[in-house]
């Protein structure tokens, strides 16, 4: 599928607004073209318009990039749980060289797409784990886990908390501030911080919630 040339200036402007190098537009658009093409056959995402995908998928995923900076600089490990077609994991891996990303996805057709995207984009620090989250047998292997539109905070911790190192952090992308979910976190876990995010060209509230072990 050929993307409209009009997408590039929109994406470049959004990258500048997020304090990212607009040169990242090239690999991000290569990923988007692949996603749009596969989506015609495999229905990987409900968002079908590539113009809409720029804001709601790429820029939305990248709004959290400052919170994985330190991780990328030291070559840390991030697991993206229930990543679907690779969001936010693939865009983050593109703009944060050095970040080691594991894309966790149980759906077979989505996992096939992910492997093809990793291959075509030559992403040497990205791997695909085709598995249910709770079945990933890598306890304590990750500095951070992330999830976008996956589940409630208590359920994410229940399914994927075992993957975190003792001082690891869940970076959960949410819409409105999830006060009820924070109140329902299981014993031993706390919301350590909340950060409002602004996504260029996308209306509505976005928050990044940092969840850690309370000890």
- pLDDT above 80 (res 10): yes
Q: Which residues contact 93 (CB under 8 A, 6 or more apart)?
A: 99, 101, 123, 125, 126
77 is a domain residue: yes
The whole-number average pLDDT for the span 180-193 is: 98
Residue 135 in any domain: the answer is: yes
Do the domain assignments include residue 39?
no
Rounded to an integer, what distance in angstroms lies between the CA atom of residue 53 and that of residue 206?
17
Question: Cα(126)–Cα(122) distance, rounded to whole angstroms?
Answer: 9
Q: Is 202 a member of any domain?
A: yes
Q: Structure tokens of 38?
A: 């596969």
**CB under 8 Å to 29, separation ≥6 — which residues?**
3, 7, 8, 11
Is the pLDDT score of 46 beyond 90?
no
Report how many domains make up the chain. 1
Tell whether the model's pLDDT for residue 197 goes beyond 80.
Answer: yes
**pLDDT digit string, tens, across residues 150-160:** 899 999 999 99
pLDDT (0 to 100) of residue 73:
97
Q: Determine the structural domain holding residue 98 and report its residue range.
A: 63-213
Q: Identify whether 35 is part of a domain.
A: no
Q: How confident is the model at residue 16 (pLDDT cuts 50, 70, 90)?
A: very high
In this structure, the dihedral spanned by the alpha carbons of residues 104, 68, 77 and 43, taken in order and rounded to 10 degrees, is 20
% of the chain with per-residue pLDDT over 90: 84
CATH of the domain at 207: 3.40.50.150
pLDDT digits (tens, 9 = 90+) for 59-112: 999 999 999 999 999 999 999 999 999 999 999 999 999 999 999 999 999 999
Mean per-residue pLDDT for 134-154? Answer: 95
Six-digit token pair at 122? 């030559």
């Amino acid at each position: 599928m050929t993307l409209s040339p009009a997408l590039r200036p929109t994406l470049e402007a959004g990258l500048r607004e997020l304090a990212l190098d607009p040169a990242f537009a090239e690999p991000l658009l290569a990923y988007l073209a692949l996603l749009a093409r596969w989506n015609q056959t495999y229905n990987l995402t409900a968002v079908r318009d590539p113009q809409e995908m720029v804001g709601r998928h790429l820029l939305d995923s990248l709004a959290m990039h400052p919170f994985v900076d330190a991780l990328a600089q030291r070559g840390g490990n991030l697991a993206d749980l229930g990543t679907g077609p690779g969001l936010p994991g693939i865009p983050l891996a593109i703009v944060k060289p050095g970040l080691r990303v594991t894309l966790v996805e149980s759906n077979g057709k989505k996992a096939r797409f992910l492997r093809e995207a990793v291959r075509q984009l030559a992403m040497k620090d990205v791997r695909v784990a085709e598995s249910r989250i709770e079945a990933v047998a890598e306890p304590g292997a990750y500095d951070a886990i992330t999830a976008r539109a996956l589940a409630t905070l208590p359920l994410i911790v229940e399914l994927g908390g075992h993957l975190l190192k003792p001082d690891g952090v869940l970076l959960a992308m949410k819409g409105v501030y999830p006060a009820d979910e924070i109140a329902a976190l299981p014993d031993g876990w706390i919301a350590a911080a909340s950060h409002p995010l602004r996504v260029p060209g996308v209306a509505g509230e976005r928050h990044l919630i940092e969840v850690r072990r309370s000890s």
